[in-house]
Amino acid sequence: MGYQVRERKSAFIHLNDTAKPGIVCGPFHALSYYIGCPYKCTYCYLQGTFRGRVDPVVYTNREKLLAELDEWLAQPGHLRLNAGELEDSLALDGVIPLVDDLVPRFAAQDRHKLLLVTKSTNVLNLLKWDPCGQVIVAFSVNAPSVWQRYELDTPHPLRRVEAAAQVKDAGYYVTLRLDPMIPVDGWQEEYPRLVDAVHGVFRPHQWTLGSLRYYPGLPGWARRLGRDTSIYAFGSERSAEDGRKRVPLETRAAMYKVATEAIRRHDPDVPVRPCKETVALYGKLGLQPNGCCYTQAMRNGSS
């Protein structure tokens, strides 16, 4: 697995509070333990964020990173640190000691939460630790036809589900991210079948639903990387709130409704939350906008 190595000059932790008015997404802190991703999802926003330079970059000044993290953990309050915003949290674990550095530090305190976000099945190091209720692991999954065409080099979604079940059994709070949902032919049957298959393996603590969303420049960067850009045709509606192109509102609402109904048939009380969605979408579904808040779900006893 190829990656670059260099020293990081800027801070490893930053506050992400860039959501535009009308977009429901609460502020959060992000940790760049490394950046980039070895997978080749054709819709990946990192293609645009890094202007076509998506190969992982691993930092050499780990001592600075850990000192910054210890300082962050000393803050008062109850905060969430996302270690999967600019990278896949687990894809390089073992090559780099991300899990062994982060999980025990969060498990040793009882205020702040760590969020790991992944498409990986690389969970062996997670299973070594007792997270003591302080670590959330969010596995992204999708319909098999979407995976096969658009999520290149990633594990099959059901292999991710099996890994997620192991992680939940080890004591972690586990979210499944059904994101990005794509209205491919037959989505009305395929997404419920995926939900049924998940519940044949385990019950996640929470579901997050999202759909294709991207800034108009992203297809150009994907094209420069030689990736298939056909997925972007599904984003035919531009949102005034943030300028992103999205699946049309009516279709997004229909997809979320079908997925939620399938989820509720198995688990009527599990939290189901849209991700980075518009207030208009919340209104269409009759939901009250309440941000993107894993920690609140945990405090409400959903774990």
How does pLDDT run across 104-156, given as a tens digit for each residue? 999 999 999 999 999 999 999 999 999 999 999 999 999 999 999 999 999 99
The confidence score (pLDDT) of residue 240 equals: 96
Contact status, residue 182 vs residue 247, Cβ threshold 8 Å = yes
Alpha-carbon distance of 197 to 191, in angstroms, equals: 10
Side-chain half-sphere exposure of 118, counting CA atoms within 13 A: 25
- Give me 175's structure tokens: 């979210």
Q: Is residue 259 part of a domain?
A: yes
Question: Which strands form 245-246's sheet, in the order they lie side by side?
Answer: 213-214, 245-246, 237-238
The confidence score (pLDDT) of residue 288 equals: 86
How many residues in total does the chain contain?
A: 303
Handedness of CA 285, 291, 295, 300 (dihedral sign): negative
Share of the chain above pLDDT 90, in %: 92
Contact status, residue 211 vs residue 246, Cβ threshold 8 Å = yes
The predicted-structure confidence for 249-297, as pLDDT tens digits, reads as follows: 999 999 999 999 999 999 999 999 999 999 999 999 999 887 554 333 3
The confidence score (pLDDT) of residue 300 equals: 36
Supply the pTM of this predicted model.
Answer: 0.94
Q: Is residue 7 part of a domain?
A: no
Q: What is the mean pLDDT of residues 14-39?
A: 94
- Give me 210's structure tokens: 């999202």
In sequence order, which ranges of 151-293 are alpha helices (DSSP H)?
157-169, 187-199, 218-224, 249-266, 279-285
Q: Is residue 5 part of a domain?
A: no
Q: Is residue 32 part of a domain?
A: yes
Alpha-carbon distance of 292 to 277, in angstroms, equals: 10
Q: What is the CATH number of the domain that holds 181?
A: 3.80.30.30
Q: Is residue 1 part of a domain?
A: no
Parallel/antiparallel/unpaired status of strands 80-82 and 28-31: parallel
The confidence score (pLDDT) of residue 91 equals: 98
Contact status, residue 197 vs residue 158, Cβ threshold 8 Å = yes
Alpha-carbon distance of 113 to 74, in angstroms, equals: 13
Find the helix packing angle between 187-199 and 249-266, rounded to 10°. Answer: 30
The confidence score (pLDDT) of residue 197 equals: 98
For the chain, what is the mean pLDDT? 94
Alpha-carbon distance of 192 to 119, in angstroms, equals: 20
The confidence score (pLDDT) of residue 294 equals: 37
- Give me 73's structure tokens: 């953990």
Residue 287 carries which DSSP code? P
Residue 290, judged by CB atoms within 10 A of its CB (0-12, 13-18, 19+), counts as: exposed
303, pLDDT greater than 60 = no
Phi, psi (rounded to 5 degrees) for 270: -70, 140
Q: Is residue 206 part of a domain?
A: yes
Q: What is the mean pLDDT of residues 199-224?
A: 98
Domain that holds residue 64: 12-299
- First-to-last C-alpha distance (Å) of the chain: 35
Confidence class of residue 19 from pLDDT cuts 50, 70 and 90? confident
Q: Is residue 2 part of a domain?
A: no
Share of the chain above pLDDT 70, in %: 95
Contact status, residue 244 vs residue 254, Cβ threshold 8 Å = no
- Give me 233's structure tokens: 């045709």
Q: What is the mean pLDDT of residues 1-30?
A: 92
Q: Can you tell me whether residue 106 is helix, strand or coil?
A: helix
The confidence score (pLDDT) of residue 1 equals: 62
Q: Can you tell me whether residue 38 is helix, strand or coil?
A: coil
What DSSP element (H or E) covers 213? Answer: strand 213-214
Q: What is the mean pLDDT of residues 69-76?
A: 97
Contact status, residue 139 vs residue 155, Cβ threshold 8 Å = no
Give the number of domains in the chain: 1
184, pLDDT greater than 50 = yes
Q: Is residue 6 part of a domain?
A: no
Alpha-carbon distance of 9 to 221, in angstroms, equals: 25
Alpha-carbon distance of 46 to 230, in angstroms, equals: 17
